[in-house]
Structure 1
Amino acid sequence: MATKPQPTATTSQASAAAEARAATRVTLIGMILDLVLGVIKCIGGALFHSQALLVDGIHSFSDAASDLVVIAVMKVSRLEPDQGHPYGHQRFETLGTMILGATLIAVGGALAWDNLERLFVDTDAPLPEWPVLAAALLSVVGKEWIFRYTRKVGLAIRSELLVANAWHSRTDALSSIVVLVSTLGAMAGFVWLDALAAVVIAVLVGHVGWGFTWRSVKELVDTGLPEEELERLKEVARTTEGVRNVHDLRSRRMGHNILVDVHLVVSPDISVSEGHQVGMQVVARMRESLPDIAHITFHIDAENDEQGRPTSLQLPSRKTIQTELEACLSRPVSPGRLRLHYLRNKVHLELFVEDRGTGPEAEALARAVHSLEQHPWFGSLRIWHGPD
């Protein structure tokens, strides 16, 4: 079993550090924007009779708090693998994405519930004034800009968490649109219009949050790649020179990375090093096909162990077989002159002897063959003669 060597630690650390800096920079910008907008909207809502704008300001402060979570999670998820986390820390990013997705669902549910109540309950309250429109419009423009900026960076560094946070920013823009609609509706006499629009937008917000949460849950329970991608990897392996068959191809995601395990069937007559080289060729071609693959562990099989009976654990070891041969031949057998092939629950032997197998040597070899044939695990014995 072997795993493809990863890029050097220096290269990997530099890339992770650059990604972390980009994520931190855009998230800090978004957090500052959220704090500024939160202050403007809360003060504006209180002074100009808009409960919707006041709640929207609280929503902006909650966005700033989630930005702090994103910064902390991004820093942890980009740490190098260690003894406790040999595959890295990307699952922390998955957890953060799930939390943000759940937050979107909660925000959508709260907005929907609040505005459903407003649809059916008349409230006598002072009408909002025009500064509410200005504050809401400023929020829409600012949050739409930070959404596009954050999403661009998130896609560039392949961070689901950052993309989720971008959509979280857009919910603030959507809620500000609700404020605009509700204010205009109230001024025009159609008070119910803003509540209806808010319910529709809240459902959309919840739908986006559900998408992020469900994808994160599937990753946390090690859901594999889509079938078409698995078939592509199998085809890559099958068409690699030296590979006879492929089975037990398994996959899972960890953040933006893909982890793969695969069994490769090769000829039982090739050396261990040649089998390993075949596996390394498969690894290289798989990573060309799916660049997000971070780790590939391959197992070299001399036969397809999915077919027939499972390989028996009762087959004798090299030491046991070598001891029996040495007793029959009355001389030591060096490890390099004995090859063992464990195939179809039998042991097939290749023995290299220096002479032509005449006289006492021939008798000794005959005794060895007779002794081996008494065992149910014995498959065959091939004897090679000659000094080389």
Structure 2
Amino acid sequence: MATQTREHGGHGHHHHHGNAYLTSTNTHDAGVRITRLGLVANLAMAIGKFIGGYVFHSQALIADAYHALTDLVSDFLTLGTVAWSLKPPSERFPNGYGKIESIGALGVSGLLLCGGVFMGLNSGQVLLDQFFPEAAEAISHLELGHGHSHSHGAGALGPSIHAAWLAAGSIIVKEWLYRATMKVALERKSSVLASNAIHHRVDSLTSIVALFTIGGSYIFQDASWLDPVGGLLISLMVIKAGWGNTRTSLLELADTTVDDEIKTAVQKAAAKALGTIDDGGKVKIRDVQGMKSGQNYLMDVELAVPGVWSIQRSREIEERVRATIGSSLRGVKRVKVRFIPLGQENLDFSEEFIAPDVIRKVNPEPEDGVEEEAHAHHEHEHEHEHKDHNATRKRR
């Protein structure tokens, strides 16, 4: 689900942030401001929902509190990883620090995934307590669940209606936080901010489930099972969102290619650059590829030029193409330009990888017949040594 929101093409201008992004006192920075606001809101909601869940005996509200807690941790990870990802490349990190943000997004979504699993176990334990108490008792002895002691006694009577007010307040706050955070994420093309925004949306949806199940349990007094069922539904929603973001982060870390939308935008910007130089019509844009590194796009452009052109001429074209792409597309931090002669249309980026036959010449492996012969020779020598050793022992 996150794939659609994490990578969008668009036009804009670069603006560079200082390395002290995390500790920045610049309240005009939208990324820091919305994340810190979400952090404070999540802290207040996590505490409020935990207390409310226990006081008002609501399993759904407790499940919602677990989710608010994972969002709280995600806000800290967001601040830290965004700060690192915007640092310029170094000798140790020649491609920049963008992958640190991808790792942060993986950590955030992993927390969400684990939180969902634990919430599901907890709600399942409560349902077992109500319908199959003997099985629940057996499982509790195996310590498979956690935090289920509250589900006995008063919890089985159903939640208090006061728990609904906490859920309703959470819906309003979280929906606003989702819209505000996603707006900044799309402007910055930040995967970790988008991941954080989706957490706010999921928290809003889970609070809606909590509100309905708490209300249903209150209206239908004999339906106290509705509340733990709501907790189970919330955990499934959280697991789904967590897996979607985890998959997207893993693909980004595995250096999968960028969206076609980004490739097309880079190609258009390169064509625009070629249109501003003399003899630009003789240059063909052969291919565009790239990968995403946090908020940063690292792009490769292949241009076919007349073979008689000098290196100096090619260098001028390279600089113009890089400058135009950089000023037209937000998030493109590196542009590598590769030149091939016109007429050699069979060349592509794959030739940059060393061919398997070349690798075999560098690190040759013996052919089957030679290998078997060498093995037999080794066995013969070993047998001969063994006989010599036995003969020596007999003489002694």
- TM-score tier by shorter-chain length is 0.5 to 0.7
Alpha-carbon distance between aligned partners in 1 of 2:164 and 2:342, rounded to the nearest angstrom: 73
User: CA 1:288/1:304 → structure 2, altered by over 3 Å: closer, same or farther?
Assistant: farther
Alpha-carbon distance between aligned partners in 2 of 1:49 and 1:197, rounded to the nearest angstrom: 13
Is the Cα contact below 8 Å between 2:304 and 2:340 reproduced in 1?
yes
Alpha-carbon distance between aligned partners in 2 of 1:229 and 1:108, rounded to the nearest angstrom: 33
Residue 101, structure 1, aligned to residue 105, structure 2: no
- Per the alignment, residue 216 of structure 1 pairs with 249
Alpha-carbon distance between aligned partners in 2 of 1:52 and 1:201, rounded to the nearest angstrom: 8
**What does 1:137-156 align with in structure 2 at a 5 Å threshold?**
137-156=168-187
- Per the alignment, residue 89 of structure 1 pairs with 97
Residue 294, structure 1, aligned to residue 305, structure 2: no
Measure how far apart 1:200 and its partner are. Answer: 4.0
Out of 6, 9, 16, the position equivalent to 1:12 is: 16
User: CA 1:251/1:61 → structure 2, altered by over 3 Å: closer, same or farther?
Assistant: closer
Unaligned runs of 5+ in 2: 1-12, 132-152, 275-279, 352-396
User: CA 1:121/1:235 → structure 2, altered by over 3 Å: closer, same or farther?
Assistant: same
Give the SS at the match of 1:224: coil
- Per the alignment, residue 168 of structure 1 pairs with 199
- Per the alignment, residue 39 of structure 2 pairs with 31
Larger relative contact order, structure 1 or 2 (CA cutoff 8 Å, min sep 6): 2
Determine what percentage of the aligned residue pairs are the same residue: 29
Alpha-carbon distance between aligned partners in 1 of 2:265 and 2:200, rounded to the nearest angstrom: 37
User: CA 1:19/1:256 → structure 2, altered by over 3 Å: closer, same or farther?
Assistant: farther
Report which of the two structures shows the higher radius of gyration computed on alpha carbons: 1
Alpha-carbon distance between aligned partners in 2 of 1:170 and 1:270, rounded to the nearest angstrom: 55
Alpha-carbon distance between aligned partners in 2 of 1:114 and 1:69, rounded to the nearest angstrom: 26
Deviation track 1:275-325 (CA, whole Å, cap 9, x = no partner) reads: 2223344445555775443211112333555649x9xxxxxxxxxxxxxxx
Unaligned runs of 5+ in 1: 1-6, 311-388
Out of 248, 252, 258, the position equivalent to 1:225 is: 258
Alpha-carbon distance between aligned partners in 1 of 2:301 and 2:27, rounded to the nearest angstrom: 30
Alpha-carbon distance between aligned partners in 1 of 2:88 and 2:264, rounded to the nearest angstrom: 31
User: CA 1:26/1:194 → structure 2, altered by over 3 Å: closer, same or farther?
Assistant: same
Deviation track 1:233-254 (CA, whole Å, cap 9, x = no partner) reads: 5677679425454556431111
Which one has a larger percent strand, Structure 1 or Structure 2?
1
- Per the alignment, residue 293 of structure 2 pairs with 254
Alpha-carbon distance between aligned partners in 2 of 1:273 and 1:41, rounded to the nearest angstrom: 66
Measure how far apart 1:161 and its partner are. Answer: 0.7
TM-score by length of structure 1 reads 0.65
User: CA 1:304/1:263 → structure 2, altered by over 3 Å: closer, same or farther?
Assistant: farther
Alpha-carbon distance between aligned partners in 1 of 2:62 and 2:334, rounded to the nearest angstrom: 49
Measure how far apart 1:95 and its partner are. Answer: 1.1
Is the Cα contact below 8 Å between 2:45 and 2:170 reproduced in 1?
yes
User: CA 1:117/1:220 → structure 2, altered by over 3 Å: closer, same or farther?
Assistant: same
User: CA 1:155/1:49 → structure 2, altered by over 3 Å: closer, same or farther?
Assistant: same
Alpha-carbon distance between aligned partners in 2 of 1:53 and 1:228, rounded to the nearest angstrom: 41
Structure 2 counterpart of 1:269, one-letter code: V
- Per the alignment, residue 190 of structure 1 pairs with 223
Residue 135, structure 1, aligned to residue 135, structure 2: no
Alpha-carbon distance between aligned partners in 1 of 2:302 and 2:205, rounded to the nearest angstrom: 50
Q: Let me know the Cα RMSD of the aligned residues.
A: 3.5
Alpha-carbon distance between aligned partners in 1 of 2:320 and 2:72, rounded to the nearest angstrom: 48
Alpha-carbon distance between aligned partners in 1 of 2:262 and 2:38, rounded to the nearest angstrom: 36
Is the Cα contact below 8 Å between 2:266 and 2:325 reproduced in 1?
yes
User: CA 1:199/1:266 → structure 2, altered by over 3 Å: closer, same or farther?
Assistant: same
Alpha-carbon distance between aligned partners in 1 of 2:114 and 2:128, rounded to the nearest angstrom: 22
- Per the alignment, residue 319 of structure 1 pairs with none
- Per the alignment, residue 50 of structure 1 pairs with 58
TM-score by length of structure 2 reads 0.64
Alpha-carbon distance between aligned partners in 2 of 1:233 and 1:60, rounded to the nearest angstrom: 39
Alpha-carbon distance between aligned partners in 1 of 2:200 and 2:69, rounded to the nearest angstrom: 11
Deviation track 1:64-91 (CA, whole Å, cap 9, x = no partner) reads: 2322222222222222332222332121
Alpha-carbon distance between aligned partners in 2 of 1:232 and 1:66, rounded to the nearest angstrom: 32
Measure how far apart 1:59 and its partner are. Answer: 3.7
Alpha-carbon distance between aligned partners in 2 of 1:234 and 1:103, rounded to the nearest angstrom: 38
Give the SS at the match of 2:333: strand
Alpha-carbon distance between aligned partners in 2 of 1:169 and 1:228, rounded to the nearest angstrom: 27
Structure 1 counterpart of 2:16, one-letter code: S
Residue 273, structure 1, aligned to residue 332, structure 2: no
